Amino acid sequence: MDIMGKVEDNRDSYEKRTFYFIINPVAKNAGSLKIWTNVMEVLEREGVPYSYAFTAYKGHGTELAKEFLRKEGDAILVAIGGDGTIHEVANGAAGFKRAKIAYIPAGSGNDFARGEGISPHPLKALEGLLHSDQERPIDLGFYKTSSSEGYFLNSLGIGLDAAITQAVNQSRVKRHFNRLGAGKIIYLAYFLWKWATYKPDEMEVEIDGVRHSFTNVWLVNVSNHPYFGGGIKISPNAKPDDGVFHILVIHNIPRLKLLMMFGTVFWGGHLRIRGVDSFEGRTIQVISSAKSPIQADGDNVGVSEAFINMQQHMVKLVVQGE
C-alpha cells in the first residue's frame, strides 16, 4: 500500500481544483480501504486531479493536513474515515485561512456527516463533493486541559459520555463488532456498564463569566453540532456556524430515570426532562471535583478540568449535501 501518491489532471475541461485525500486505512476495520479504491476509480474515470496519503498513527491526519496546506494553501482536504479522521483534518486546517475541508464518511459513527447532511453512502458523498461549487465557514471549539489542547468539530464532554468513550476506545473487542457491522452494540454495552458503575460528581461550570454549581452531575456536554456517539442527538439546536456553543448539564437524576431517559436522546426529548439544563455561550470552563474523564470528538483528552473557547468561522467546509 503506497503511503502517498499523486495523479495529474488528464482532462483539460475539468475545473481546476486541488483535492488532497487523507485516508484512515484502519477505519471501519479497514473497510475504508475498499471505499478508497472505489473513490479512486471514480476520480480516474472522470479525470480528476488528486493527491492522497494514508494516516499511520494517531494525530497523523493533522500533520498531513498541515504539510499539504503549506504546499497548497487553497487545497481541498478530504477526510476519508470516521469522526476521528475529520477531527484530525480540521485540526490541521485550523489557522490556514484559505483551507477548505470535506468529508467522505467511512467510519462507524459518522456523526459529522449526519449533522451536515452528507450522504452516508461514500460514492454519493464523493459525487456531492465533485459537483459542489459552494462552501461555507464553520466554527471550531478550542479546548485546553491539563494534558492536551486542540480543536473539536462536534462536541466536548466531561463525565459519563467520556467514561463510555474511554472504555470503548480501550476495548479489545471493538474491532470484532465493527467487522460484523454492529459497532453501535458495543457502545450500548458500555453505556449499560458505565450507567451501573459511574459515580456522579460535583462540577463548577462557568459560561461567559457566569458561574454555576451543580451536584450529582452525570455529564457536561459542550456542543458545536447536534450529534455524538453514533446518532445520539445530544444538542438538537446546535449549529456549527452560529458562533455559540450549546451546553448541556445532566445532574440530580436518579440512576434508573437516567436509563429510561436514554431512549429520548435520539430525537431530543431529553431537553424537557427535569435535571437536564441547557445553556448557550462562547467561553466555558468546567471543573470537576473528581478526576472525571474528558472527551473531544470521541478522543479522550484529559481529566478534571477543561477550558473551551469558540473559534467562529475557523475553517471552510465544502457543501456536499445528499
The pLDDT value given to residue 176: 52
First to last CA, the chain: 31
How many CB atoms are located within 10 Å of the residue 228 CB?
29
Distance CA 138, CA 180 (A): 34
Exposure pattern of 26-61 as b/e (b: 16+ CB <10 Å)? Answer: bbbbebbbebbeebbeebeeeebbbbbbbbeeeebb
- How far from chain centre, in Å, is Cα 164? 16
Cβ burial of 248 (10 Å; 0-12, 13-18, 19+) is buried
Instruction: Give the predicted TM-score (pTM) of the model.
Output: 0.86
pLDDT (tens place) for every residue of the chain, 322 residues total:
445 554 434 333 345 678 999 999 987 767 889 999 999 999 999 999 899 999 999 999 999 999 999 887 677 999 999 888 999 999 999 989 888 999 999 877 788 988 898 998 999 999 999 988 889 999 999 999 989 999 999 999 999 989 988 887 776 655 555 554 555 566 777 788 888 889 999 999 999 999 999 999 999 999 999 888 777 888 888 999 999 999 999 999 999 888 888 777 777 778 788 889 999 999 999 999 988 999 999 888 999 999 999 999 999 999 886 5
Instruction: Indicate the SS3 state at residue 263.
Output: helix
Instruction: Write b or e for each residue in 127-165: b if 16 or more Cβ atoms lie within 10 A of its Cβ, otherwise e.
Output: bbbbeeeeeeebbbbbbbbeeeebbbbbbbbbbbbbbbb
User: Who contacts 100 (Cβ-Cβ below 8 Å, separation ≥6)?
Assistant: 74, 75, 76, 77, 93, 135, 315, 316, 317, 318
- For residue 254, what is its C-alpha cell? 436518579
